[in-house]
Amino acid sequence: MMMVLDHVAIAAEDLASAEAELTAAHGLTFQGGGQHMDMGTHNRLIGLGPSEYLELITPCPDIPAPSQPRWFDLDRFSGAPRARSWVCAVTDLDAVLAQIPFPVGKVWNLGRGDLRWRMTIPEDGILPFDGLFPALIEWQSGGHPATRLNEVGVRLEALALETPQAEALRAALAPLFADTRLSIAKADAPKIAVTLATETGTVVL
């Protein structure tokens, strides 16, 4: 397949309070992270193995807002921390974009520390299919964030998408992505749910 799961973004209104809430409720141990100067956000991470991670991400009050809406539709987010978006890694972003028959966003060249990557970010901040189509990322240098995180015994068990456009979303993803952990179901409103297997039990966000 052209795309593989890279990470899942959990959105929240405030980073510190969301981290404390998720740690207290589920025993999740976040690490690393930092600021995204181009997008006006900051994050904390949990490794999900050698090539996947969970990202807790919020607007950062210490960074000016970008000239366009923030990624993952964060400017319109409110409420408790929850799964907001998912991101797929590709080895040739331009080639994959040529296979997708609808716009998925402008390609941004981004970096933090020694990490460098290219990523699709829609101009309105909203990914296709009401945010349920994945953002695409091509890591360029500095390795991968997951390899820098401590092993904490957390793995992604399931990624469930619910949408009124279930059939169309399945068709859009079918030629590009295959992962048995992904399910797509028809529902009245779009929703993402991520199930994590942890050392103390199952967590659903």
Check residue 66 and report its DSSP letter.
Answer: P
- Helix ranges, 41-180 (H): 93-99, 166-173
| Residue ranges covered by each domain of the chain | 4-150
Please tell me the CATH code under which domain 4-150 is placed. Answer: 3.10.180.10
- Cα-Cα-Cα-Cα dihedral of 32, 123, 139, 179, to 10°? 90
Q: pTM (2 decimals)? A: 0.96
In this predicted model, what pLDDT tens digit does every residue of 168-203 receive, in sequence order?
999 999 999 999 999 999 999 999 999 999 999 999
The single-letter code of the amino acid at 106 is: K
Are 120 and 98 contacting, i.e. CB atoms less than 8 angstroms apart? no
Q: Please return the burial class of 111, using the count of CB atoms within 10 Å of its CB with bins 0-12, 13-18 and 19+.
A: middle
Which two three-digit tokens encode residue 159?
């990624």
In this predicted model, what pLDDT tens digit does every residue of 89-141 receive, in sequence order?
999 999 999 999 999 999 999 998 899 999 999 999 999 999 999 999 999 98
